[in-house]
Amino acid sequence: MEKRTALVALAALGQETRLEIFRLLVKAGADGVPAGEIASRLNTVQNTTSTHLKTLTHAGLVRAQREGRVIRYYANMTGFRDLLAYLMEDCCNGAPELCRPVIEAVTCDC
């Protein structure tokens, strides 16, 4: 991952509602969540939620899939893993075993 891409992703997550949306989608896993339901669950306005989803999608942290008239959103775990890998790329001054607990904590089979 390039530094610019990491900065875009971190900026996207640096806003409270977008962070809540991303965490909601991570929790939903492979089922994803329809856009309208995201707004309902987080008690946000739909058009504002749509703007946040666009920002997260642009950052590579969310992906969308159209199902008829509904758009279902999913956390893009590959983008998220790439961000984590970038942040930990030079982990622990050449002693990556010190970072092993963090790596194991964020690793999942999703």
How far apart are the C-alpha atoms of 103 and 49, rounded to whole Å?
31
Alpha carbon 35 to chain centroid, angstroms:
15
pTM given for the model = 0.86
Q: In angstroms, what CA-CA distances link 31 with 16, 35, 46, 74, 79? A: 23, 13, 20, 8, 18
110 confidence band (pLDDT: 50, 70, 90): low
pLDDT at residue 62 above 70?
yes
Residues whose CB falls within 8 Å of the CB of residue 98, separated by 6 or more in sequence, listed in order: 91, 92
Weakest mean pLDDT among 50-54, 66-70, 100-104? 100-104
pLDDT at residue 54 above 90?
yes
How far apart are the C-alpha atoms of 57 and 75, rounded to whole Å?
9
pLDDT at residue 79 above 70?
yes
Percent of the chain with pLDDT over 70: 93
> Any idea what the CATH number is for the domain that residue 8 is in?
1.10.10.10
- Pairing type for strands 33-34 and 70-75 reads antiparallel
- Name the residue range of residue 66's domain: 3-106
Tally Cβ neighbours within 10 Å of residue 109: 3
The number of folded domains in the chain is 1
pLDDT at residue 106 above 60?
yes
